[in-house]
Amino acid sequence: MQGARRLQSLLPLALCVALLLGCRGEPQTMRVELAVAGMTCDTCVQAITHEVGRLEGVRSVEVDLEAGKAVVTYTQGAIEPAAIEQVIEKIGYEAEPGQAQPVEAPIE
């Protein structure tokens, strides 16, 4: 049962690491609203939703054609609003990110 004893001696170390990670906190979900210009129809909405939605770190995308905006939630540290803006501009629209805000309850 040497294997089990070794595992037991590693347990305090594992706990320390877990606590350390806990101190740094869960990755925060952020919400940013981008003003988007140039959208004319549902295809535009779908294109932006698709392109932004497949970015690593993006959790949700809601594009509002009439309001000319996109609301994006993302994992802090995994992506920046500037990268979201770039992708929207790459496919032919103007985008201007507002202030990012932390989302209180994580969206699962």
Residue closest to 30 by CA, chosen among 100, 80, 82, 79: 100
Q: Write the interaction track for Cu ion spanning residues 54-93; mark x where CB under 5 A is met and - where it is not.
A: ----------------------------------------
Using CB under 5 A, which of the segments 24-32, 35-43, 80-88, 93-101 binds Cu ion?
35-43
Using CB under 5 A, which of the segments 1-9, 33-41, 50-58, 91-99 binds Cu ion?
33-41
Q: How many binding residues for Cu ion (CB under 5 A)?
A: 4
Structure-token pair, residue 11: 């347990």
The answer for residues whose C-beta is within 8 angstroms of residue 51's C-beta and 6 or more apart is 87, 88, 90, 91
Please provide the DSSP assignment of 31-49 as one string.
EEEEEEE---SHHHHHHHH
Confirm or reject binding of residue 44 to Cu ion (CB under 5 A).
yes
Pairing of strands 29-37, 101-102: antiparallel
Using CB under 5 A, which of the segments 13-21, 41-49, 68-76, 91-99 binds Cu ion?
41-49
Confirm or reject binding of residue 40 to Cu ion (CB under 5 A).
yes
Contacts to Cu ion by CB under 5 A: 40-41, 43-44
